[in-house]
Amino acid sequence: MTMTLPDSIRDRFPLLEHAVYTSSCSQGALSVDVRAAYEQYLADWDEKGAPWELWVERAESMRDRFARLLNATSDEIAVTTSVSAAVSSLLSGVRHSGGRNKIVMSDFEFPTIGQIVHAQELAGVKVEHVPATPEVTISLERMAEAIDEETSIVAITHVCFRNGSKTDVKEVIRLAHEAGALVLLDSFQAVGAVPIDVRDLNVDFVTGGTLKYLLGSAGLAFLYCRADLLPQIVPTQTGWFADEDINKMDIYDYSPSPTARKFESGTPPIPNIYAGIAGLDLMHEVGIAETEEHVGRLTAQLIDGLDRIGAKMVTPRDPAKHGPMIAVATTDQNAMVAALAEDRIVTSARDGNVRLAWHCYNSEEDVEAVIAGLQRHSELLAR
């Protein structure tokens, strides 16, 4: 009999033997596969000394995997050490010309996006924020009002790290393109748990990293840049791994790669790439569409349970409007996270809410354990 999620993979995550893990929005659980990949990195280093040819080949195979993940080509992918590095490099290269010198960003962005976008003000760029609605969504009407003929880039987040709200990405892209603007999508809280197809979305730039739902570690991220946009973007934030010919070791000019490698900088994060390959391969084996379906069932079960115990969820209830994380209002977020930790339930908190994030390895029993835990500590639930 073939096993289905999560039974088919739970034993690959030793942590699950002694904890209910709902913190994948912060860091994915460690698999035996990723542990083995780190051990392989050490073995290669130990046995071969400095196998840089092998390591650069590993970095290229990471690029190919990111491309496959997003339905992009490898030339459209930069392998970076963080979303911050990816977005800083991208925005350093966008020429805000032709009367377009405004960036529109949603109020659901991660701090790094907000800070990098506002840093562009030093170069004369204007920034306009689109606020959240009381229903914890980004209003398309407000988005449409903000995007105008001066707008060069619209920055949106796929799933908000604070409240789990999922943006209607396709619709924002349609609005932006209608007005002649480009869209930067931060998919960190979605990638791995939500299928992403850059062709289907018709998106211009996508960024994300491996440490959450892609089951890798910190220090590895990607930037997708649509092929036809590459020639017009010339980053000033750069490094030798962005050069058109790394082996030339040239110090007399700046000649970045014609591919998205132009957004890279220094020596690739090799240990994280070993882990990233193992994490991505594991997610391909499990299936991201299958994960999304499984997680959809778990979040529906959780929402029923929250209603049963009278807990207030902050995340939109509509399954089309939330991702794998559901945020629940508390009177004291740190006390709630600590109380649940005592019960061996791992959670995280933001904005006064406890964040409950679900992945391929979570079970219905995990959901029931979390509901029982919240009920046990109901004095910490905000009503």
Ligand X SMILES: Cc1ncc(COP(=O)(O)O)c(C=O)c1O
Please report, as ranges, the residues that interact with ligand X according to CB under 6 A: 82-84, 110, 112, 157, 161, 186, 188-189, 209, 221
Nearer to ligand X (CB atom), residue 143 or residue 381:
143
188 and 112 in contact (C-beta within 8 Å)?
Answer: no
Distance CA 102, CA 105 (A): 10
Task: Phi first, then psi: give them for residue 141, nearest 5 degrees.
Answer: -65, -45
- Residue 64's Cβ-side half-sphere holds a number of Cα atoms within 13 Å equal to 7
Classify residue 148 as left (phi > 0), alpha (psi -120 to 50) or beta. beta
Using CA atoms, how far apart are residues 334 and 350, in angstroms rounded to an integer?
9
Specify the amino acid at residue 260.
A
Strand partners, 243: 256
Least distance (Å) between residue 330 CB and ligand X: 20
Q: Which is nearer to ligand X, 290 or 351 (CB)?
A: 351
Give least dist CB 106 to ligand X, A.
11
Q: How far is the CB of 221 from ligand X (least distance, A)?
A: 5
Among candidate residues 377, 245, 242, the one with its CA nearest the CA of residue 311: 377
Q: Which is nearer to ligand X, 337 or 381 (CB)?
A: 337
Q: Which is nearer to ligand X, 19 or 85 (CB)?
A: 85
Task: Quote the CA–CA distance of 256 and 268 in Å, as a whole number.
Answer: 16
Q: Name the residue nearer to ligand X (CB basis): 84 or 315.
A: 84
Nearer to ligand X, 24 or 112 (CB): 112
Query: CB under 8 Å, gap of 24 or more: what pairs does 16-20 form?
Result: 16/361, 18/344, 19/344, 19/345, 19/346, 20/343, 20/344, 20/345, 20/346, 20/366, 20/369, 20/370, 20/373
Cβ proximity to ligand X, 221 vs 339, nearer residue: 221
* Nearest residue (CB) to ligand X, 66 versus 161: 161
Least separation in angstroms between residue 110's CB and ligand X is: 3
**Shortest distance in whole angstroms from residue 26 CB to ligand X:** 7
Q: How far is the CB of 39 from ligand X (least distance, A)?
A: 25
Q: How far is the CB of 161 from ligand X (least distance, A)?
A: 4
Q: Parallel, antiparallel, or unpaired: how do β-strands 20-21 and 345-346 relate?
A: parallel
Query: Of 153 and 311, which CB lies nearer to ligand X in the complex structure?
Result: 153
- Beta strands 151-157; 182-186: pairing state: parallel
